[in-house]
Amino acid sequence: MTKLRFHHLEPLRFPLVNRLYKSYYPAGKAKKDEIIWVGDNEKGIICVVRFKQFENIQLLTGMLVHPDFREQGLAKDLLAATKTQINCKPCYCFAFRELIPLYSNANFHLVDKIELPEVLSNRLIRYISSGKDLVAMRYEA
């Protein structure tokens, strides 16, 4: 099992996250207005998740674990480490269907797109119409 340090990433280190995204999840990109959490060790950043901020809500997005470190529970550990962020205001995510169990175990629950705030429902409709098989989930403590 890989031992990581989980922490909020300072904006100066965003290029390191973008390098990881470019290699393994080209659609992902750290943006200055997002809150980013990582799990890292002496080898560098191993996993990352971003929180896109809206007025009264946030969207957990861009969850990525380096392929060499998958199937070790690191995504679950990263979600657990971000609980303070997740709890600071209502938190949603758009999950690929195969990841529903991961997010469900972290207290995210399926929600119908008509229950989403408008800013998120429009985004989800756009993603689905582009061919992504996503479901909306909301964190409930």
| Average pLDDT in the chain | 95
The pTM is what? 0.94
pLDDT at 45 over 70: yes
pLDDT in tens, 94-104: 999 999 999 99
How many angstroms separate the Cα of 98 from the Cα of each of 23, 80, 101, 130, 141? 22, 19, 7, 18, 22
Joined tokens for residue 74: 């690191």
pLDDT at 1 over 60: no
pLDDT band at 2 (very low <50, low <70, confident <90, very high): low
Position of tokens 């989980």? 6
5-139: CATH class: alpha beta
Specify the pLDDT at position 113.
Answer: 87
